[in-house]
Amino acid sequence: MEIIIAKNQEEVSKIAASQIIKEINKKKCFVLGLATGDTPLDTYKELIKAYKNGKVDFKDVKTFNLDEYLNIGKNDVNSYNYYMHHNLFDHINIKSENIHLLSSDSKDFRNTAIKYDKLINENNGIDLQILGIGINGHIGFNEPDNKLLLDTHITDLAQKTLEQNSKFFPDIYKMPKQAITMGLGTIMRAKKILLLVTGERKAPVIAKCLRNNEINTDIPASTLLLHNNLTILLDEEAASIYLKEKKMKENENFNKKYPNYKREFNTA
Query: Which residues participate in catalysis according to the annotation?
Result: 67, 136, 138, 143
For residue 74, give the amino acid letter: K
Helix (H) or strand (E) holding 206: helix 203-211
Cβ-contact 34, 64 below 8 angstroms: yes
Interacting residues of 228 by C-beta distance below 8 A, sequence separation 6+: none
Q: What are phi and psi of 56, to 5 degrees?
A: -155, 145
Helices (H) and strands (E) in the chain, counts: 9, 10
3-state secondary structure 50-83: HHHCCCCCCCCCEEEECEEECCCCCCCCCCHHHH
d(CA 14, CA 196): 11
Residue 5 in 3-state DSSP? strand
d(CA 219, CA 36): 19
Q: Which residue intervals of 88-153 are DSSP H helices? A: 109-122
Q: What are phi and psi of 132, to 5 degrees?
A: -115, 180
Interacting residues of 239 by C-beta distance below 8 A, sequence separation 6+: 5, 197, 203, 206
Cβ-contact 39, 268 below 8 angstroms: no
